[in-house]
Structure formats: structure tokens, C-alpha cells
Structure 1
């Protein structure tokens, strides 16, 4: 029986990807580097630090990684604060409330920085629902490395077999599976460029999930 749900944030709880994209590409322009769409998509699920570490391997960039991170964060924060139409993804708030009120433990495991997580959780008043918030900036490698999910499981009230991860990205799903955790792939309109086939179960809308279906999700899979 599932007792803990580990949520990714970007693309699962809220879609800040357009804001990240704006910040990254504005900075790419400042750096005078030509990052292709394919290259940018391949970094989905990476922390900002890992993204710039990879970019410095490909392009000649004089700035230190920490300086690049701070610049990107400044552009992102300014854009985030001015984006009035930023909303939680459809159905996810109802799912979070339903799981929490029925005693399900919720943990966030996001590649986003702590600052971004705090901005999202403060804006949408999500703190009360989650027992732990885990940021990818605390790990040397980003998803698909499983470290962030392996750590999240250590914070769970239940063993790994009683946890699930909800992810929307190729790298996130690979990380969950590498950590040996049952993974639900969320196939949103924002996941078109992502490969969800390695997920144990794919849902197209959060109304397909509630406390009862999540609790018995292993038997749901067997019945398909």
C-alpha cells in the first residue's frame, strides 16, 4: 500500500518552464552562445548548476558557474514575480489536498533551486501539505541521476516499495526508475518533447488519481 507520494515540481505542480526558458535564452543571448532546441530539451530536469556545467563543456564561457547561476536566477525571479497568469497545473491542487487530508505523506523532490521552490510554495500556499522539500541544488548530479529520489525515500515514513514518484520528464522518470521507485508519468501538454515510456503508469490528467487509486496503485497497474 502506498504511503508516500514524491512530487516533482516543474511540469507536475506548476509550469514555470516558460519562465525558465525565457531566463535561459535571454542569458544565452547575453553570452552569445547558440543553444539549439534539441540541446535545451535534453537538459530538462537538470539543476541550473548542472546545466551551466554542461554548457561550459560545449561553449567557451568565461564566467564561473556560480556567477552564471546568479545571473540566471535574477532574470528568472524578475520574470516570475511579474508573471500574473502563473497557475498550478489543472487538478493537482485537488489531488494534493485529497492525499494530504487522508494522511498520505507528500514530499517534493525538484531539480529547482531552493529559492524557486520557496517562491512557488509561498505563492500557492503549499507548505502545509508537504513534510519535506528537497532541492536538486543539494546534489552534485541532476536527474537522471537517482540521488535526489534516493534521498527523498530516506525521508519517507514508509519503505521504498510503499512510495511512488510523479514525474513529467524523461530524465525525472529515469531517475525514479534508477532509484527503484514506482513512477507515474504525467503526460501533460507541457510534456510533448518528453519520453514517458519508462514510467510504470502514465496519466493524462490528475483527475485520474485520488487517494484511493494512489493507495492501491500497484493493483491498478496489474488490472490494466
Structure 2
């Protein structure tokens, strides 16, 4: 197995099992807007960031909406639900152990997420992983979201590691493509929505953080 100097993790669908909650929030918003995006459209939207998605919906369905306002509403609703125990998405088992093992092995870590900065900050503190990461990149830090490589290039730069020495772990095709364009390897984290993801871009498929550690030959 290749020895990576840096690993770039996606957040939603990789660290938190949050896609179901996002889907429920978006379903309410679709109903209010009088639209129903197809499964194929939703699959292509994964990892792109909320505002880009609402721009697509506005243009495709000719909606009289402000994409930035829609994205902010969706993000704030999700942010508020993180404080409700019965609504809060589950943390994937082994996240903290995986981050600690990588850190102890001298592997640099960062997070590249299409979410808002305040959401990423909150999740990092919720997961108690801030001490293990070099930093993070959000939709507010780049001009273009995934699958553009900018977010992965920025995450690699934060770690001080060349992209070709990095691994991206993402649950969406857009994230893996962004990594590949930047020059990284890419692993698919097969979460609940894996059936909607084109795994052809993946160098490997993993289903848990324990499996990530096993592939990297790290002790648990």
C-alpha cells in the first residue's frame, strides 16, 4: 500500500452520517418550491455545495429564488438540528480512532467540505478531532466547489504536502474527481448513498474507518 503523507477527508457522509438529514431538509424545500429533482440530478449534486446546487435548480426549473439564501437556510436548519440529540446525525464508528492513529503515524490530515465554515467548525468540535488536523477548507474558501480541484489543492497546501502524496477519502463522485484532477489518489467511502456514486474514479472502496486504518496498516 502506498505511504501517504497527507489525507484529505470529506465531512458529510464520511465523518457524519448526515446525508439522510440533508435529504429530509431538502425534501421540505423541494416541496415548498414545487419541484422534485431526479435521482440522477441528486447524485450529480453530491459534494458540490449547497449554493451551487440551488443555482442549478434555479436555472433548470426556472425558479424565482436566491440560491445563496436557499443555501444559507438549509445550512442554518442543519446547524440547529445538530443541537437536537434525536435529530443529530450519527458519527461513523472509529472516526476519532482513525484520526488519532493517522496523527500518531505522522500523516497530515485536513478536511475539504462543501459546507459552510460555521458548520465545519461545529462538526470538528462535536467529533473532538481538532487536535489531529492541520486545517480545513470550506465552500467559502474557494471560487469553485467540487469537482473543481481547487478545494483539494488548497487542503494539500494547508498540510504542506504535495497533492501527489495525498489521499482523498470522499463519499461522492465529485469529491473523488476533484482529488484526481488535483493529482491525489481517491478512495470511495461507501456510505448509505454509495449506490448513486460512480465508483470507477476510486482507487479503493472502504466501508468504515476501521477499514481505512487496516488499508493504511495503522494500529487501532
- The superposition leaves residues 10-41 of structure 1 with CA deviations (integer Å, 9 ceiling, x where unpaired) of 11111111121112111111222222232222
Q: Paired residue for 1:102?
A: 105
1:148 equivalent among 138, 148, 151: 151
TM-score scaled by structure 1? Answer: 0.86
Which shifted more, 33-42 or 92-101?
A: 33-42
> 1:153 touches 1:160 (CA, 8 Å); kept in 2?
yes
> 2:44 — aligned with what?
42
| Residue equivalent to 1:220 | none
Most deviating of 81-90 and 46-55 = 81-90
Where does residue 53 of structure 1 map in the other structure?
55
Residue 178 of structure 2 corresponds to 175
| Structure 2: tracts of 5 or more residues without a match | none
Aligned partner of residue 209 in structure 1, secondary structure: helix
Task: State the distance in 1 between where 2:207 and 2:171 align.
Answer: 10
CA distance in 2, matches of 1:142, 1:35: 20
| Residue aligning to 1:221 | none
Contact 1:11–1:191 (CA under 8 A) maintained in structure 2 = no
Which residue is equivalent to 2:5? 3
Query: Which of these residues, 191, 198, 201, is aligned with residue 201 of structure 2?
Result: 198
Structure 2 SS opposite 1:183 = strand
Aligned 8 A contact 1:3 1:157 in 2: no
Instruction: For structure 1, list consecutive stretches of 5 or more residues without a partner in the other structure.
Output: 216-224
CA distance in 2 between partners of 1:78 and 1:161 (Å):
38
Q: Distance in 1 between matches of 2:4 and 2:217?
A: 7
CA contact (8 A) 1:102 1:211 kept: no
Distance in 2 between residues matched to 1:59 and 1:134, nearest whole Å: 30
Task: Please say if residues 111 and 136 of structure 1, whose CA atoms lie closer than 8 Å, have aligned partners that are also in contact.
Answer: yes
Check the 8 A contact 2:9/2:168 in 1, yes or no.
yes
SS at match of 1:158: coil
Q: Secondary structure at the match of 2:100?
A: helix
SS in structure 2 of the partner of residue 11 of structure 1: coil
2:163 and 2:182 in contact (8 A); partners too: no
| Aligned mates of 1:178, 1:163 — CA distance in 2 | 12
- 2:23 is aligned to 21
1:47 Cα offset (Å): 0.7
Deviations 1:85-127 (A, max 9, x none): 5222122222111111232211111111112212211222221
CA contact (8 A) 1:168 1:196 kept: no
